[in-house]
Amino acid sequence: MKKRALLGSFLIIGLLIVLTGCVFKGEQSLTEMDPPKDADATKEANYVEDVEDVSEGAGAGDESSESSADKQNGEENGTNETVERQLYLLDSNGMVVPQTIALPKDESKAVASQVLEYLIKDGPVTELLPNGFSAVLPAGTQILGLNLKEDGSLIVDVSKEFKEYQPENERKILESMTYTLTQFENVEKIQLRINGYDQTEMPVNGTPIGKGYSRANGINIYEKDTVDLMDSEAVTLYYPAQQNDTFYNVPITQHVKAEGDMYQSIVQALVDGPSFELNLLNVFNSGTSLSQEPTYKDGVVALTFNEAVLNNVDKASISDKVMKTLVLTLTDQPGVEAVDVKVENIDQVYNENGEAYSEPVTRDTFVPTGEM
């Protein structure tokens, strides 16, 4: 009897163990089969990551591979990492101009959202603004989401506070957003949403957006009365400006004569200088001219000037401001990656610090690498 009772006890315990295992396995299977609660939110997050990964370029991989220990050591040492970005802000003359600002490195890599947040008045950019500059997006604007499409269109969804601006600032807001966001490689143009609703025009003054607004629409557009629009082409010229002791370049989209070589027309417009009413600077010496027609090969525009372009003939040096306005303007043209500047009768030209221009000068000499 005792043996039978003992055997029965073992059978009951074994049965309980099997049943318990089945229950736990069943619970685990239910958990594994549950789908994400918000599939749309996951999809949106992936779009944002596409924008951020591209904008960071090769550096994104390096940042993402940073170990937890490295991050912890950085936090313990109190180091605040920053990254330089181009923000298009308003200067004291109301022009939309690029300013290189060191922004806190965003560990979430939400770089596209971050630069937009730093364009908002009374936002985080306030403490970083150079003297005489201001943010352009209306105070209180919230960035609700970003969506990067395969054609390079970045849909920007903003809150209703975005509508609270003066009509005269409408195009400036659109230009600031467009140029700031198109500094990232895969972003070609922007489209606007307000609280999730697509906008084909700006909400206050009705500036058309259509299927997207890009750099081709221009910035700080200026029309000369003396230029025949039928016999000219719109280009963006970077003229120097001065705010106290600080020099910076202002992009101005205007028409230049399309006769003959286009690069020569652009250089001549820079040498002639900006219109007086723009309150910008002409940094070229009187008598400066090209002694040969420009040439283009493999992404490089070659220019040969007369000696008047030099700011110091004995040292064969060219003003940094002259070189910057030439490089920024010409590399804004399709297919131009660098500018090679020569001077007739001079074997080698130098910058103001005595460093030789032994190689064609690229845009990232003057702006953060990978931006604009």
- Per residue in 7-20, pLDDT tens? 444 444 444 444 44
Q: Are residues 261 and 200 in the same domain?
A: no
Q: What is the pLDDT of residue 66?
A: 33
63 within a domain of the structure (yes/no): no
Maximum CA pair distance of the chain? 122
Q: Are residues 92 and 173 in the same domain?
A: yes
Q: Are residues 213 and 234 in the same domain?
A: no
Q: What is the pLDDT of residue 101?
A: 93
- Residue that finishes a domain, picked among 157, 188, 217: 217
Contact indicator for 339, 326 with CB cutoff of 8 Å:
yes
183 within a domain of the structure (yes/no): yes
Mean pLDDT by 10 residues, the chain (372 residues): 45 44 36 34 39 39 32 45 93 95 80 95 95 96 96 97 97 98 94 97 97 96 75 93 92 89 95 94 97 97 98 96 98 96 97 96 80 37
15 within a domain of the structure (yes/no): no
74 within a domain of the structure (yes/no): no
From CA 328, how far away is CA 237, in angstroms rounded?
8
Contact indicator for 302, 308 with CB cutoff of 8 Å:
no
From CA 157, how far away is CA 197, in angstroms rounded?
8
Q: Are residues 285 and 265 in the same domain?
A: yes
Q: What is the pLDDT of residue 124?
A: 95
Count the domains in the chain.
Answer: 2
User: Residue 201 — φ and ψ, nearest 5°?
Assistant: -150, 160
Q: Are residues 278 and 258 in the same domain?
A: yes
23 within a domain of the structure (yes/no): no
- Residue that finishes a domain, picked among 171, 192, 217: 217
How big is the chain by its Cα radius of gyration, in Å?
29
Question: Comparing C-alpha atoms, which of 159, 166, 149 is closest to residue 197?
Answer: 159
Q: What is the pLDDT of residue 3?
A: 42
Q: Are residues 205 and 245 in the same domain?
A: no
Q: Are residues 210 and 267 in the same domain?
A: no
Q: Are residues 240 and 140 in the same domain?
A: no
> Which residue segment(s) compose the domain that 236 sits in?
229-365
Q: Are residues 185 and 259 in the same domain?
A: no
Q: What is the pLDDT of residue 51?
A: 53
Q: Are residues 237 and 361 in the same domain?
A: yes
Q: Are residues 144 and 256 in the same domain?
A: no
Q: What is the pLDDT of residue 244?
A: 85
Q: Are residues 176 and 257 in the same domain?
A: no
